[in-house]
Amino acid sequence: MKPHLDSLPPDMISLDDYARLSRQFIEPATWEWLQGGSGQLQALKANETAFSRHAIYNRVLVDMKHGTTRSHLAGLDLAHPIALAPVGYHRLVHDQGEVATARGALDTLMVVSTMASVAIEEIAAAAAGPLWFQLYMQPHRDDTLHLLRRAETAGCQAIVVTLDTPVQPASHAAHKAGFVLPPHIDAVHLRENGPPPPVALSAHGRALFQAMMAQAPTRTDLEWLRDATALPLIAKGISHPGDAAELLAMGYDGIVVSNHGGRALDSAPAPLTMLPAVRSELGPDAVILFDGGVRTGSDVFKAIALGANAVLIGRPQLHALAVAGSLGVAHMLKLLREELELVMALAGTPTIADITRSTLVETDYPGGSSC
Amino acid sequence: MKPHLDSLPPDMISLDDYARLSRQFIEPATWEWLQGGSGQLQALKANETAFSRHAIYNRVLVDMKHGTTRSHLAGLDLAHPIALAPVGYHRLVHDQGEVATARGALDTLMVVSTMASVAIEEIAAAAAGPLWFQLYMQPHRDDTLHLLRRAETAGCQAIVVTLDTPVQPASHAAHKAGFVLPPHIDAVHLRENGPPPPVALSAHGRALFQAMMAQAPTRTDLEWLRDATALPLIAKGISHPGDAAELLAMGYDGIVVSNHGGRALDSAPAPLTMLPAVRSELGPDAVILFDGGVRTGSDVFKAIALGANAVLIGRPQLHALAVAGSLGVAHMLKLLREELELVMALAGTPTIADITRSTLVETDYPGGSSC
Amino acid sequence: MKPHLDSLPPDMISLDDYARLSRQFIEPATWEWLQGGSGQLQALKANETAFSRHAIYNRVLVDMKHGTTRSHLAGLDLAHPIALAPVGYHRLVHDQGEVATARGALDTLMVVSTMASVAIEEIAAAAAGPLWFQLYMQPHRDDTLHLLRRAETAGCQAIVVTLDTPVQPASHAAHKAGFVLPPHIDAVHLRENGPPPPVALSAHGRALFQAMMAQAPTRTDLEWLRDATALPLIAKGISHPGDAAELLAMGYDGIVVSNHGGRALDSAPAPLTMLPAVRSELGPDAVILFDGGVRTGSDVFKAIALGANAVLIGRPQLHALAVAGSLGVAHMLKLLREELELVMALAGTPTIADITRSTLVETDYPGGSSC
Amino acid sequence: MKPHLDSLPPDMISLDDYARLSRQFIEPATWEWLQGGSGQLQALKANETAFSRHAIYNRVLVDMKHGTTRSHLAGLDLAHPIALAPVGYHRLVHDQGEVATARGALDTLMVVSTMASVAIEEIAAAAAGPLWFQLYMQPHRDDTLHLLRRAETAGCQAIVVTLDTPVQPASHAAHKAGFVLPPHIDAVHLRENGPPPPVALSAHGRALFQAMMAQAPTRTDLEWLRDATALPLIAKGISHPGDAAELLAMGYDGIVVSNHGGRALDSAPAPLTMLPAVRSELGPDAVILFDGGVRTGSDVFKAIALGANAVLIGRPQLHALAVAGSLGVAHMLKLLREELELVMALAGTPTIADITRSTLVETDYPGGSSC
């Protein structure tokens, strides 16, 4: 594969450019893993299509000279409402992995994955902006607690617990491309975990339910977790308003509406479709992040208009990291933020709070996707 | 064509893989017969498209460790709600035909076709799971009775009478490929039938109506059939709620909502579209099976959520049988069942009874099919 | 081009087959003229798409042995509700032109065009079924009267006056292919017409309005026409319910809902879309024919279910005529009629009168067209 | 590139033909600039798709011999409701630039752009029809006033102030093609402008808001402009009914509903979609022009039926100018006007005032665009 670039070609002007170019910088099997979705890809495609159902009014009579993307999110004061989603194994596309990503995350919140290929302490030492820690609950509570304490000690300012993949369906494309983690890359945070608990299947017992799902976090586990940290605690992978409401009632500080980038339930709805119902259920003050197919400033704007406080960016991190390391990540974020500013300028919304449902008009035709 | 495989390639991970690979194992004209639909293929395509109109909520707060696909169906206690649809002439793709299929149907109900290329007694001797018998009513009632008695004696536990193809429109593709039954394969159950009754067309009489449709089962015939067997009796090929209700009023035990895999009326609606109205008409206790385009665990889940008690799988049987004989059939069923378990785990539905309409959300965009 | 066939290849099993094969039998520029539509082809494409919005219930409990396609239409007793639409210049694809078509129209009503390339008297002498005459009103009433009298004398049993193309937009494809009538083919019925009336354009006058549209039939002309013949009089090219109602109030016997096969107003709606509103406006007893994209028995069925008494077939006449002359026309009509019988058999509608709106179910997905 | 044609090939029969052919007459990078849209092209594609949602009734009982496209627009008496939209830099495709365009604009209103590559005085000397002047407000009011006075003195009969691009998003395709203005072409009207005002960014200040948007016209500027000219004043780039109403309340004479040809906000709605709401908000007497994807007479008709008094044509001007200079422009306008006449003739609308909402029927299928 090509070595990372030291400077940016002048025709890198959108996240799509990074996606396209990154193919030359990423091993083919890794590319399939990164781009893949579960099953028949219904959820993955729905994420992209959903944005085209909404258009944004161009407004012309608003004074925009005090325009700003400044955002407040669970106690953080952020330059803009765009954050880096938790993505595992950054070292698959860059030797320094998450450390390089964190260096490029200027002014930007980064959510570090449990499945990071570099330790949270090293990432924190390099980070250009605030960090949150994404938690997969472990079979042994001690291991989970140990992860929490490391994240707190490293300075992470919130915990994001992912709930939508107690088991994860296969990406057919990644499987066929033969993707496996290379021996020198692993989930470093899990090295010290105890062995998984033994499972005795009953007669006719099914491994999925009696083994894997038996280790999935239950409501009791989630209550325990709420008590286990004083940090803001956010549940990720929520699409049903009822689940969202229950989590808030359990003391959670917010949720991430997400279908795991089309990598969890293969026929899950697009999270954009679910945002309005979730916001309506939780009310105006709940913290709601959005994750799923954001690639342009218009996408960010639409997610906010439909109920999100901020958005998370997944695959484009690794595209940019593969192409040009920290510089690529910083540039990718700059492009997206400037696109958001441009959309806000033309939509007549000087602040994030002005981006409400009334800025949108529904359309019945796809617009943004090539047919 | 390639000989059947003795072991499964590692990249066979979905029913689509069997469909694709099977092309190398099936004679071209037979392939066209198998894949074909009637007329302009509207019904065939509608079957596939219909699933994409529904998405499934990912739920996160349900304890799934006692999850199970166990199902009850017309007196049977089944490991899962996936059964083999009646398909004729399995010997077209495998020398041992239905016997090989039956050996692979582990834990799975198989509905043997009147048009089987192996006798029901041989199939029953080899079967790994329960059998039902699919009945085409014959021109002579004696012949029909004889079929019934053979099925009962062989141990079939229900009769499925197919009603949607008193005449069957041509598959244009099969016709053009020159598909004909080879001389060594026939519908063995019909060998002893009497000659068809003579028809005297009236002036301007039309063969379709006065000959073929005159032999189609009438309401009187169906009442006679109800009295002719003590087995559960299920009518297949129903899409109109009114027909469904009448059949239950006549003492039938259930129906199969189906458009014959797109092989009957070429502009019939997708059966998935009709399921809710049929379930609503018949009430919660009626036995309703579904047949039409099921290829994934999500498809099974959606059919159940929209009203089915179980689903039937057609073409994939022969794909799997052609690729790897009994082993292929067993593996294909395992894949589908495990996909269903995975969807149930992520959808938060521990039992089949939990799969209700509220697990779905309607979408207005296609997702699962490439366009 | 290929000479006409003397016998039919065995794989001619649908009207699509005739369309495809006919390309080898028709001069390329003539093919473009035949297949073409006006402008951007919106109307032409809408005709095809409209059918896919409706599916047909498969019904299973109806006794069909007395099924029949017999139809009554403006005093005629017809074997089926499929008629040949008026199409000009059949000699473009066959030396004997309309005479050959008429010989193939067994049991079938043929509507002879004013623009026929063979005289109505010769067509009538050869006709295998009843004839109607399609009238374009001429600039001089004497010429119109002369056409009417010839049609009456030749035995035509109704007059169909076409109203939707007082001017006809260009087919871009035919224009670019350089289509012109060859010197030996003309509209024989118009040879004796007087010269067109002189037009003196006013200052800033526009030829379209002051010359062409000034010769278009007005309400007064249409009233005159009503009085000029005792034959049933049917207006063709109607899509608006208001126009339909006015024509019936003027004493017209019926209408043809049509957009001239996509050859008139280039953004006209599909006539299938307009049928229900027109039928609702005119009531159950009005004579309503349908014309626009019928290619299968299902299409015929759907048009009748949505309000038509009968359908007209346009381009497929010339496809069949080009491929195999009279034999082709007869076979094409036989295929379509048998498809209609098959659909009726499976839809449980023994007579044309049974084909009502309740036989259809609306769908939101296209089915019949490749994507 | 090819030199301009002196005479027109016979197969130039629609605006699409000019678009296609012009590619041979325009430098590749200039072509990308001309055809391009902002961002992901959602707005650009929406413009085309929107027309296909409406069909036009073919009417048959209207006397059309006094048909006319004559239009009244903000004091002008026009032969037809089709005008030339403001487009910058015509010299990119023709040495004489806007002068050649103006010579071809027979009977046609031309809106000259602030970004013209030829001075308004020269254009006015050559113009074959009335002129309006499109104004971009300049950072210094004196410069704006100077532009206004030049336009008034040159005889422009109205001012069109464009509001939807205070900043303009990049066309990715034009950027990648390396489009830049060649040295011999510039915006001649801006040569004498003063230097832009200095900007001191505050800490964390963003250039887009504090520099560019700080120079965007505010409500105060627009009120000042209203007082600065006695000519009719029309605001261009409006899609929200609220903005439209406010501008009229400020004394503006009308608006242009437009998304800048898909070159402004990249997810803006199609202006055709917004027309009905804007007309409904402003009432029947307001001056509303439409701009966005008009390529056929049907498109003109639909825009008028949905609320426009007249339409503006953008890119096709340059296509025609590139192909055949003034002759091309005149011919392109003739084609479009004649298409409009033809549609009016078939739709039974003798005057522009007859083109109301009731001439349309909504469709749920795309028709005019190939997919």
CA-based nearest distance A339→chain B, Å: 26
Give the active site residues of D.
260
Of A79, D177, D16, which Cα lies nearest the Cα of C175? Answer: D16
Chain D touching partners, 3 or more CB pairs below 8 A: A, C
pTM over 0.90: yes
Of B302, B241, B173, D257, which Cα lies nearest the Cα of A268? Answer: B302
**How confident is the prediction for chain C on average, in pLDDT?**
95
Q: Tens of pLDDT along D299-308? A: 999 999 999 9
- DSSP 8-state class, residue A297: H
DSSP reduced 3-state for A281? helix
The kind and range of the H/E element at C112 are strand C110-112
d(CA A99, CA A116): 10
Q: Which residue ranges of B make up the annotated binding site for glyoxylate?
A: 136, 260, 263
Which of C38, C40, C135, C172 has the most D C-beta neighbours within 10 Å, making it the best mutation to test the interface with D? C40
At residue A365, the pLDDT reads 52
Burial label for D269, CB within 10 Å (0-12, 13-18, 19+), is: buried
d(CA A313, CA A327): 17
Is pLDDT of C203 > 80? no
Is pLDDT of B120 > 80? yes
C-beta of residue C136 within 8 angstroms of C-beta of residue C115: yes
C92 — phi, psi (to 5°)? -60, -25
Contact C46 D63 (CB under 8 A): no
At residue C170, the pLDDT reads 87
Which of C346, C351, C358 has the most B C-beta neighbours within 10 Å, making it the best mutation to test the interface with B? C346
d(CA B142, CA D234): 87
Percent of chain A with pLDDT over 70: 98
Out of B201-215, C94-108, C223-237, C238-252, pick the least confident: B201-215
Out of A183-192, B114-123, C197-206, D350-359, pick the least confident: C197-206
First to last CA, chain B: 30
pLDDT (average), residues D17-40: 97
C-beta of residue A208 within 8 angstroms of C-beta of residue B335: no
Is pLDDT of C370 > 80? no
C-beta of residue D157 within 8 angstroms of C-beta of residue D127: no
d(CA B83, CA B333): 9
CA-based nearest distance C300→chain B, Å: 12
Of C7, C368, D169, which Cα lies nearest the Cα of A345? Answer: D169
Of D227, D225, D293, which Cα lies nearest the Cα of D259? Answer: D293
Residue C371: pLDDT band (50, 70, 90) is very low
C-beta of residue D355 within 8 angstroms of C-beta of residue D104: no
d(CA B149, CA B138): 14
d(CA C110, CA C97): 13
Contact C343 B172 (CB under 8 A): no
* E strand spans, C164-298: 233-238, 254-258, 287-291
Contact A67 D204 (CB under 8 A): no
Helix axes D315-347, D15-22, angle to 10 degrees: 160
pLDDT (average), residues D157-172: 94
B204 vs C98, residue with greater confidence: C98
Strand partners, D56: D360
Q: Which residues contact A3 (CB under 8 A, 6 or more apart)?
A: none
- CA angle B282/B284/B285 to nearest 5° reads 85
The kind and range of the H/E element at C346 are helix C315-347
- The domain locations on chain C are 15-191+217-350
**How confident is the prediction for chain A on average, in pLDDT?**
95
At residue A198, the pLDDT reads 79
The kind and range of the H/E element at D28 are helix D28-35
Q: Does domain A15-191+217-350 fall into CATH 3.20.20.70?
A: yes
C-beta of residue C220 within 8 angstroms of C-beta of residue C253: no
Q: Which of D42, D53, D214 sits opposite A368 (nearest CB)?
A: D42
C-beta of residue C352 within 8 angstroms of C-beta of residue C290: no
d(CA D160, CA C114): 53
Q: Which of D13, D51, D52 sits opposite C172 (nearest CB)?
A: D13
Chain B CA closest to residue A257: B58
Q: Cα separations (Å) of B7 from B17, B325, B326, D219?
A: 15, 10, 11, 76
Contact C65 B259 (CB under 8 A): no
| Entry field: residues in chain B | 371
Q: Tens of pLDDT along B323-350? A: 999 999 999 999 999 999 999 999 999 9
Active site residue B146: no
At residue D364, the pLDDT reads 67
Could you tell me the maximum CA-CA distance found in chain A, to the nearest angstrom?
71
Out of D110-119, D313-322, D361-370, pick the least confident: D361-370
Q: Which of B238, B267, B269 sits opposite C298 (nearest CB)?
A: B267
* Residue type at position A229: T
Question: 3-state SS string over D281-331?
Answer: HHCCCCEEEEECCCCCHHHHHHHHHCCCCEEEECHHHHHHHHHHHHHHHHH
Strand partners, C275: none
Q: Tens of pLDDT along B242-258? A: 999 999 999 999 999 99
Considering A4, A54, A80, A260, which one is annotated as catalytic? Answer: A260
At residue A215, the pLDDT reads 87
Percent of chain D with pLDDT over 90: 89
DSSP reduced 3-state for C251? coil
Q: Which residues contact B160 (CB under 8 A, 6 or more apart)?
A: B86, B111, B132, B133, B134, B135, B234, B235, B236, B256
**ipTM score of the complex?**
0.95
d(CA D1, CA D20): 14
Helix axes A271-282, A42-51, angle to 10 degrees: 70
Question: 3-state SS string over chain B?
Answer: CCCCCCCCCCCCCCHHHHHHHHCCCCCHHHHHHHHCCCCCCHHHHHHHHHHCCEEECCCCCCCCCCCCCCEEECCEEECCCEEECCCCCHHHCCCCCHHHHHHHCCCCCEEECCCCCCCHHHHHHHCCCCEEEEECCCCCHHHHHHHHHHHHHHCCCCEEEECCCCCCCCCHHHHHCCCCCCCCCCCHHHCCCCCCCCCCCCCCCCHHHHHHHHHCCCHHHHHHHHHHCCCCEEEEEECCHHHHHHHHHCCCCEEEEECHHHCCCCCCCCHHHHHHHHHHHHCCCCEEEEECCCCCHHHHHHHHHCCCCEEEECHHHHHHHHHHHHHHHHHHHHHHHHHHHHHHHHHCCCCHHHCCHHHEEECCCCCCCCC
Which of B267, B281, B371 has the most C C-beta neighbours within 10 Å, making it the best mutation to test the interface with C? B267
Is pLDDT of A219 > 90? yes
Q: Which residue ranges of B make up the annotated binding site?
A: 86-88, 113, 134, 136, 162, 236, 258, 260, 263, 291-295, 314-315
d(CA D309, CA A294): 39
Is pLDDT of A366 > 50? no
Q: Tens of pLDDT along B3-23? A: 999 999 998 999 999 999 999
Q: Which residue ranges of A make up the annotated binding site for FMN?
A: 86-88, 113, 134, 162, 236, 258, 291-295, 314-315
User: Known binder of ligand: residue D39?
Assistant: no
Contact B46 C55 (CB under 8 A): yes
Q: Tens of pLDDT along D208-244? A: 998 888 889 999 999 999 999 999 999 999 999 999 9
Strands C233-238 vs C254-258: parallel, antiparallel or unpaired: parallel
Of A157, A332, A177, which Cα lies nearest the Cα of A229? Answer: A157
At residue D365, the pLDDT reads 53
d(CA B202, CA B195): 21
Q: Tens of pLDDT along C32-68? A: 999 999 999 999 999 999 999 999 999 999 999 999 9
At residue B220, the pLDDT reads 95
Q: Tens of pLDDT along B145-192? A: 999 999 999 999 999 999 999 998 989 999 999 999 999 999 999 998
Contact D61 C270 (CB under 8 A): no
At residue D368, the pLDDT reads 32
Is pLDDT of C364 > 70? no
d(CA D288, CA A3): 56
C-beta of residue A291 within 8 angstroms of C-beta of residue A67: no
Number of C-alpha atoms within 13 angstroms, CB side, residue B323? Answer: 26
Q: Which of A163, A170, A209 sits opposite B60 (nearest CB)?
A: A163
d(CA D352, CA D204): 54
Contact A208 B67 (CB under 8 A): yes
Contact D345 C213 (CB under 8 A): yes
Of A317, A360, A340, A329, which Cα lies nearest the Cα of A53? Answer: A360
Strand partners, D54: D362
Chain C CA closest to residue D350: C209
Chain CA centroid to CA B314, Å:
5
Of C39, C10, C9, which Cα lies nearest the Cα of C24? Answer: C9
* Residue type at position C178: G
Is pLDDT of B369 > 50? no
CA-based nearest distance D197→chain A, Å: 14
Is pLDDT of A317 > 80? yes
Both tokens of residue B46? 């509608």
Strand partners, D152: none
Q: Cα separations (Å) of A293 from A173, A296, A311, C258?
A: 19, 9, 10, 45
Chain C touching partners, 3 or more CB pairs below 8 A: B, D
At residue C365, the pLDDT reads 53
pLDDT (average), residues C169-189: 95
CA-based nearest distance D367→chain C, Å: 4
Question: C-D interface: how many C-beta pairs under 8 angstroms?
Answer: 136
C-beta of residue D144 within 8 angstroms of C-beta of residue D138: yes
Residue C162: pLDDT band (50, 70, 90) is very high
Burial label for B65, CB within 10 Å (0-12, 13-18, 19+), is: middle
